[in-house]
Amino acid sequence: MLKPRIEKVVINVCVGRSGEPLEKAMKIIEELTGQKPCFRRAKKTIRDFGIRRNEPIACLTTLRGERALEFLKKALEAVDNKIPAISFDKSGNFSFGIKEHIDMPGTKYSPDLGIIGMDVSVSLRRPGYRVKYRRRARSRVGHKHLLTPEEAMAFVKEELGVEVTEEKRR
């Protein structure tokens, strides 16, 4: 029950405007993940950037299980299997960015789609976290069962072969 596992991997791409750029980003995400992404809308109007409230400006998709692990291995290769320790939060989750999607192995450049960057967020959990989110008989997860950043770093090193580098905050 103490062994961590990957609960989900969320891939987010924000292009900043609707229309053709967002459609291209959605096609790229669908090719990479094999899953149709959904829109995310702007929360407020920002005139300087030309963004209106409720305008679709981003897309994201959530992967679980084998698809998540398969995508995560490719995404980590795009960042040379290195993640800074600062990317881990206090709950053991971590995030990293990919500047160009063509850095991922097995991806070819398509001139009509272009190049996009993306954010990848990984949520790690131990078995038993369901008690926190279930509807009936909801309960708290004990502090000894919570995942710490150090345990998450050790899991990522062992299971995914990733090097966790020590970078200081700027």
Q: Which domains are assigned to the chain?
A: 5-165 (3.30.1440.10)
Show the tokens assigned to 121: 């967020």
**pLDDT for 91-112, tens place per residue?**
989 999 999 999 898 888 888 9
User: Does this model's pTM top 0.85?
Assistant: yes
Where does residue 2 rank: exposed (0-12), middle (13-18), buried (19+ CB within 10 A)?
A: exposed
Tell me the CB-side half-sphere exposure of residue 31, using CA atoms within 13 A.
17
Are 102 and 152 within 8 A, CB to CB?
Answer: no
The pLDDT of residue 33: 92
pLDDT above 90 covers a percentage of the chain that reads 72
In terms of Cα–Cα distance, which of 130, 127, 75, 121 is closest to 95? 121
**pLDDT for 33-65, tens place per residue?**
999 999 999 999 989 988 889 899 999 999 999
